[in-house]
Amino acid sequence: RKKQSPNYELSCQAKKIWEKLRIQKQQLSKEEKHELVEQLMKLVQENDKSLINLAYAHDTSRVLQTCLKQGNKEQRHQIFVDIKTHIVEMCKNSYAKNIVWKLLKYGTPEEREIVMSSFKGTVMKLMRRAKSASVVEYAYNNYATAPQRLAIVQEFYGRVFTMLCNSDASNFTDVLAQNDEKKSTILSSFKDSLVPLITKEVIVHTVVHKALFDFFQYCDDATVRSEMIETLRDSLAHILHTHDGAHVTLHCLWYGTKKDRKVIVKSMKEFVLKIACEEYGHMTLLAAFDCIDDTVFLKKALVQPIMKNIATLAENKFGRKVLIYLMSPRNPSHFLPEIVKLLSTGDSNATSKNTIFQLHYELSEGASPRILEYLAENITPIIYDRSMFVLLQVAVLCCTGDTNTLIEAILAQAGSEFSPGATNEDGKMHVIEDPCGHMVMKKLIVAESKRMTENPEKGRFSRKLVTSIPATSLSSWSSCNRGAQILLALVESADSETSNKAKSLLQDSLAVLRANVAVKSTKILIDKLN
C-alpha cells in the first residue's frame, strides 16, 4: 500500500538523507548539516514536488522538522515559503502541526508574524480541536507579542463583538460603552462562543482561561453569568492551577448559587492536596472558606482532607498559607494587602447568608484541634525550621482550640539546660539561641503584650513561661544576646502579671546577670531592672 503512494520513492530517498542528519548529528559540522538539508530540498525539486507533500505523513513530517532545526536561515525560509499558505490546515493534522511548532521556534520574527496572521478569523475553529488547539496555545504562550495575544483572545468574544468592533471601539469595554442597548446580546454572544470550549481536552489551555477570565470581568448581567457558571462548574478543577483559571474559579464561587458552590467543591475534593500546594490553586480554597455557608459540608469536603495531609501542607509554601488561613484568615502579617483585597471582593455576594466572621470561626473550630496536635507532636523539627516555625506563632495566638498542650511543648524545649554555643547531636543550638527558636519565643511574647489591651486572656504563653521555668534557667539565658532579648521582652510586657513575675525572678538572680554584663542586651536588661 505504501508503494502505491505517489510520494513513496521521494519518501524513501528523503529518509536516507534524514537518517544521516539524525543519527550523525553529533559528529557533523554545521556546514555538513546544511549540505544534507540542501540535498533534501534539491531532491524534492527534482521530483517536481513541493515540501508540503512531506508534511502530512508521520515519517516525512519528521524529515521537515529536522530540516527546520538543522538548516540555515535561507533554507528555513525556503521551507517556510513552500508551506506558509497551508498553516491552518497543517495545525489540524497530527503530524503537520509539529512542523508549525518548529516554524514558530526557528523562524524569524517576520515569519512568526505571518504564522500568527494566518490564525486570524480561524482561532475558534482551531480551538475546538485538541490538535490544533495545542498549536494556538503554544504560539500564544511562547511567541505572540502583546497585540497578537490580544487579537487571539478577542476572537473568543463572540460574533456580535466582532461585528461591532471598529477603530473607535477596539476593545470590549469600548464596544459595551458604545452599544449599551445591545449589552445583553453582546454578553450572551460572548458566553455562547465559550461554551463549546468547555471540554476536558480544550479547557486546559491557558488562552481559554484568559478568555473565561475576561468574560467574568466584563459580565455584570447576573442571568448570563449564572448560565456560564452552571456550564463551567464541573470543569473548574482542571483550570484553577493557572492565574486566570484561579480567578475564574473565584468568580464562580462568589457569584454561584448554593448548588453551584457544592458542585465546585465536590469537583475539587479529589485534588485538595494538589490544589492547596499550588501558587494560584490555593487561593480558590481560601475563597471557598470565605463564602460557603454550609460549614459542615465544607469541613467534610475540604478541611478533613487538608488535615489528613497536614504534614505535606506544612512543608509547602502555599500549603502553609491554607493552614494559616484556617487559623487566622486575612491576617495582614501573613497575607499581602492585594490578596486580602482580592478575597474581600466576594464579601458582598448575594448567596452567602452567614457573616464571614461566623464562617471563619466555625472552620477554625473544626481545623484547630488537628493543627495543634500535629504541631505539638512535631515541635522539635518545626521550631528549628525557618519556613515552618510561623505556624507555631499563629497557632498559639489565633487557634480556636485549647493551646495548652502546644505551649507546654514549646516550653519543654526552652526549659532544657542552656549552655551558650552548645549544640545537640543534630548540630542544633538550644531553642533560646537558635535563630528560629528565639524568633518564635520573642514574637509570641511581644504579640501577646500588644494584645493585652484587647483581651487580657491572650497572655497565656508569657505567663506560663515565667511560672514554669525556674529562675536559674531564666537567668542562664542572659549569657547570650538572643536569650537576653527574650528576657527583656518579658520584663517590658504590657501584661503586668508577666512583667512583675519576670522582674521578681530576675532580681533574685542579679549576680548571674552581672556576670554576663558583657552581653549587650543583658546590660540593657540590668538597667531596666535597676
DSSP string of 284-332?
HHHHHHHH-S-HHHHIIIIIHHHHHTHHHHHTSHHHHHHHHHHHSTT-T
The string of pLDDT tens digits covering residues 181-195 is 999 999 999 999 999
Domain final residue pick, 101, 118, 135: 118
Q: Residue 114, exposed/middle/buried by CB under 10 A (0-12, 13-18, 19+)?
A: middle
Q: Same domain, yes or no, for 2 and 111?
A: yes
Residues 495-516: what's their mean pLDDT?
91
Q: What is the DSSP letter of 430?
A: P
- Of the residues 382, 407, 435, which one is the last residue of a structural domain? 382
Average confidence (pLDDT) over 511-516: 91
* 48 contact partners, CB below 8 Å, separation of at least 6: none
Q: What is the pLDDT of residues 322-376, one digit of tens each?
A: 999 999 999 999 999 999 999 999 998 888 888 999 999 999 999 999 999 999 9
Domain membership flag for residue 11: yes
Model confidence over 140-168: pLDDT tens digits?
A: 999 999 999 999 999 999 999 999 887 66
Give the per-residue pLDDT at 61: 86
Cα–Cα distance for residue pair 115/126, rounded to 1 Å:
14
In this structure, the answer to whether residues 2 and 86 fall within a common structural domain is yes
Dihedral sign, Cα of residue 388, residue 390, residue 393, residue 399: negative
> Is the pLDDT score of 6 beyond 60?
no
pLDDT tens-digit readout, 398-429: 998 889 999 999 999 998 888 888 888 888 89
401 in a domain, yes or no?
no
User: Which segments within 396-511 are labelled E, that is strand?
Assistant: none
Flag the least confident range among 31-40, 112-121, 154-163, 514-523. Answer: 31-40
Q: Is the predicted pLDDT of residue 4 greater than 50, yes or no?
A: no
- What single string gives the DSSP state of each residue in 86-119? GHHHHHTSTTHHHHHHHHHHHS-HHHHHHHHHHT
Tell me whether residue 404 is in a domain.
Answer: no
Q: How far apart are CA 87 and CA 79, in angstroms?
A: 12
- Is the model's pLDDT at 215 over the cut of 80? yes
| End-to-end Cα spacing for the chain | 102
Q: State the average pLDDT over residues 225-252.
A: 96
Question: Residue 12: inside a domain, yes or no?
Answer: yes
Q: Compute CA distances 232 → 75, 185, 192, 241, 371, whole Å.
A: 46, 20, 12, 15, 34
Out of 20-29, 133-142, 358-367, 375-384, least confident range = 20-29
Question: Which of the pair, 107 or 55, is modelled with greater confidence?
Answer: 107
3-state DSSP assignment of residue 280: coil
pLDDT at 352: 87
Assigned C-alpha cell, 455: 483581651
Mean pLDDT confidence for 468-479: 92
Distance CA 27, CA 40 (A): 19
Does residue 336 form part of some domain? yes
The percentage of the chain sitting over the pLDDT mark of 90, rounded to a whole number, equals 69
Q: Are residues 359 and 285 in the same domain?
A: yes
Structural domain contains residue 47: yes
Q: By C-alpha distance, which of 477, 479, 473, 449 is closest to 463?
A: 449
pLDDT at 34: 87
Residue 389 inside a domain? The answer is: no
Are 109 and 203 in the same domain?
no
How many structural domains are present in the chain? Answer: 4
Distances (CA, A) of 453 to 109, 204, 456: 65, 51, 7
Distances in Å between the alpha carbon of 159 and those of 143, 154, 162, 411?
26, 10, 5, 67
**In a domain? residue 130:** no
- Pick from 246, 229, 228: nearest CA to 237: 246
Tell me the residue length of the chain.
530
- Claim to verify: residue 284 and residue 314 sit in the same structural domain: yes
In the beta sheet, which residues pair with residue 429? 423
Residue 301's Cβ-side half-sphere holds a number of Cα atoms within 13 Å equal to 18
| 482 in the same domain as 375 | no
Q: Does position 256 have pLDDT exceeding 60, yes or no?
A: yes
Asked if 256 and 288 sit in the same domain, the reply is no
**Which of these three, 358, 382, 406, is where a domain ends?**
382
Q: Is 281 within 8 Å of 246 (Cβ atoms)?
A: yes
CB atoms within 10 A of CB 356: 17
* Same-domain status, 449 and 479: yes
Q: CB count, 10 Å around CB of 289?
A: 23
The region of weakest confidence among 24-33, 269-278, 469-478, 496-505 is 24-33
Type of residue at 157 = Y
CA distance 525 to 503: 10
**Of 165-174, 403-412, 433-442, which gets the smallest average pLDDT?**
165-174
Assigned C-alpha cell, 451: 494584645
- Sorted by sequence, the CB contacts under 8 Å of residue 133 that are 6+ apart come out as 126, 127, 201, 202, 205
Same domain, 166 and 244: yes
Output 39 or 500, whichever has higher pLDDT.
500
Alpha helix positions (H), 330-419 = 337-344, 356-377, 379-383, 389-398, 404-414
Ranked by mean pLDDT, which of 8-22, 130-144, 341-355 comes out on top?
Answer: 130-144
Assess whether 213 and 108 both reside in one domain.
no
| Three-state SS at 243 | helix
Residue with grid cell 522538522, as numbered in its chain? 65
d(CA 255, CA 301): 20
Q: Are residues 110 and 195 in the same domain?
A: no
Distance CA 229, CA 255 (A): 8
Q: Are residues 176 and 246 in the same domain?
A: yes
**Domain of residue 303, residue span:** 271-382
Q: Calculate Rg over the CA atoms of the chain.
A: 33
The pLDDT tens digits of the residues spanning 69-86 come to 888 999 999 989 989 999
Cα distance between residue 403 and residue 457, in whole Å: 12
pLDDT value of position 28: 77
**Hey, what's the torsion of the CAs at 492, 495, 498, 501, to 10 degrees?**
80
CA distance 469 to 486: 13
- Residue 453 has phi, psi (to 5 degrees) of -70, -30
